[in-house]
Structure 1
Amino acid sequence: MNGTDWAHLATNLGVTAATAGVVLLATFAVAVRLGLHRIVDIAWGIAFSAVAVVTWLLSDGHGDDGRRLLVAAATVVWGLRLSAHIARRSHGHGEDPRYTALLDKARGNRTLYALRTVYLGQAALVWLISLPVQAASYSSSPPDLLAFCGIAVWALGVGFEAVGDHQLARFKEDPANRGRIMDRGLWAWTRHPNYFGDSLVWWGLYLIACTAWQPALAVLVSPVLMTLLLTVGSGKRLLEKHMAGRPGYAEYAARTSGFVPLPPKKTAPVRPGGNR
């Protein structure tokens, strides 16, 4: 009979909570030693990958092998690509202004404040957002049409994110673009192709976990939470706050969709301004 092995899934949830905690605590130790908290962004994708691998190992014999491999591989590919991209992007740079601003709010020990608000908070988010990966691995149902639709959505998200990151990196490499706002390629259709792609990835993984109404309802919090984080949480909102004062950004924002890709509005051309 097809179904979800809830008993073993419950055990998995405890082990993956510890897994996410270990990855983020190790990152915290390295960050303190280096005096650089921005490396936690690199650990984000690694932590998801670690949870996926641990889940794949623990679910052996408790879920359909095809679905287990599908959801684990999709998560690892997304997570490691994201971590590698952030590592390359941040190499040679100092502290991220977001973390400087956050730690400036600390009352008392800044290191303990960072541990509580950044590292333990991100460990909890990794565990919660990864619920579809864990639930899908304990389903006895082989991949069906909905699962393959989920992979299609996931692939579109990874592609959108990777292309957007590549376009921005190429734009910044050209000295002629110094002081200008990136408004080409996917960035002409949405101000955040990478965040939009991230959202699609997790809606795709959610679809893979929708083997029945019970798991579908139980893990719906994952893609909803990720989308909220990307749009009104620490993603889009904070980045746009940081970019708001750059010359030319207001014009760019006026003609470009804030999240979902849409044809750009016809407005006056962007003036030279701050690099994104």
Structure 2
Amino acid sequence: MSFMTVALGGLAATAVLAFATWLASLARRDASLIDRVWSLCILAAAAMYFFLLPPQTAPRGLCMLLIATVWALRLSVFISWRNWGHGEDRRYRQIRERNQPSFGFKSLYLVFGLQALLAWVVSAPFLAGMSAVRELNMLDAAGIALALFGIAFESIGDAQMARFKVNAANKGQVMDRGLWRYTRHPNYFGEACVWWGLWLMAAAGGGWGGAWAAVSPVLMTVLLLKVSGVSLLEKDIAERRPAYRDYIARTNAFVPGPSRGKAP
């Protein structure tokens, strides 16, 4: 089976899952359902590559598929739990308001089609790594270690924030404990580590032939820093929550580092 056929199989997998989620969103009037399944779209693409590619790629492919499964299920379950009972996320409500009338139909390409395409692009390390035939090596080990570190880092950060929010005594306060003392977005930093780790595995298997898959971690890092992550969340937060301004002054935005001073 040709490389292009396998790649298109991954795109088909993300598109089918996104389309099914779109149908569910029409019934529930909730376009933010895509957030719950986006990681599963990437997992679907990775699984498609694994089963379409020849058996000799299996050792590295199996390692990558296991990492994808742990990452995707953890993120999907966490987002579903966090958003349960809250209705459509305000970001999607704003998109809905800007694209009336007929947002239901428009969301097929504005939200779900776009997310399916992004998921396919982000799945590039799986395609590159699973199609490579080199034996597992030390670069793979480094990639596995970085990806697992990223999963653990973002999981701990999410758990710490969840515990902070359920404590009524913390209402109105800024979370600056645990990993959040060293970076304002440990979940985003951990996420970036996952994709750079998977890219290392792609490069380990394909050498320069797998280097093209760097499009995935580069895209994810840009999204996390400049588009849907840090920039979007902090666009006006200092105005809405003055205490956050001090938190920004003493805490790194992304890469963990020592806190610059004490909390007031």
Q: Judge same fold: TM > 0.5, yes or no.
A: yes
Aligned to 1:124: 117
Aligned to 2:19: 25
The reply on whether 1:43 has 2:37 as its aligned counterpart is yes
1:261 aligned residue (251, 256, 261): 256
The offset of 1:267, in angstroms, is 5.1
Aligned to 1:232: 226
Where structure 1 has 5 or more consecutive residues not aligned to the other structure, the ranges are 1-6, 270-276
Separation in structure 2 between the aligned mates of residue 79 and residue 247 of structure 1, nearest angstrom: 35
Secondary structure (helix, strand or coil) at the match of 1:40 reads helix
Q: For residue 116 of structure 2, what is the amino acid of its counterpart?
A: A
Asked if structure 1 preserves the Cα contact closer than 8 Å seen for 2:50 and 2:58, the reply is no
1:252 aligned residue (224, 247, 260): 247
Separation in structure 2 between the aligned mates of residue 59 and residue 212 of structure 1, nearest angstrom: 14
The reply on whether 1:90 has 2:94 as its aligned counterpart is no
1:222 aligned residue (200, 211, 216): 216
Separation in structure 1 between the aligned mates of residue 94 and residue 249 of structure 2, nearest angstrom: 27
Q: For residue 112 of structure 1, what is the amino acid of its counterpart?
A: F
Separation in structure 2 between the aligned mates of residue 162 and residue 132 of structure 1, nearest angstrom: 22
The offset of 1:216, in angstroms, is 3.0
Aligned to 1:203: 196
Output aligned runs, 1:1-276, within 5 Å: 8-61=2-55, 63-106=56-99, 108-210=101-203, 211-241=205-235, 243-244=237-238, 245-266=240-261, 269=264
From the two aligned structures, give the one with the greater helix fraction: 2
Q: How many residues align?
A: 262
Separation in structure 2 between the aligned mates of residue 268 and residue 162 of structure 1, nearest angstrom: 24
The offset of 1:259, in angstroms, is 0.5
Asked if structure 1 preserves the Cα contact closer than 8 Å seen for 2:40 and 2:72, the reply is yes
The offset of 1:108, in angstroms, is 4.1
TM normalised by structure 1 equals 0.91
The offset of 1:214, in angstroms, is 3.2
Q: For residue 87 of structure 1, what is the amino acid of its counterpart?
A: S
Separation in structure 1 between the aligned mates of residue 10 and residue 17 of structure 2, nearest angstrom: 11
Separation in structure 1 between the aligned mates of residue 194 and residue 211 of structure 2, nearest angstrom: 18
Where structure 2 has 5 or more consecutive residues not aligned to the other structure, the ranges are none
Secondary structure (helix, strand or coil) at the match of 1:241 reads coil
Secondary structure (helix, strand or coil) at the match of 2:133 reads coil
Secondary structure (helix, strand or coil) at the match of 1:257 reads coil
Q: For residue 89 of structure 1, what is the amino acid of its counterpart?
A: R
Q: For residue 78 of structure 2, what is the amino acid of its counterpart?
A: H
Deviates more, 1:220-229 or 1:207-216: 207-216
After superposition, the C-alpha distances for 1:53-110 in whole angstroms (9 at most, x for unaligned) are: 121111142x422101011111111011000000111111122111112222225421
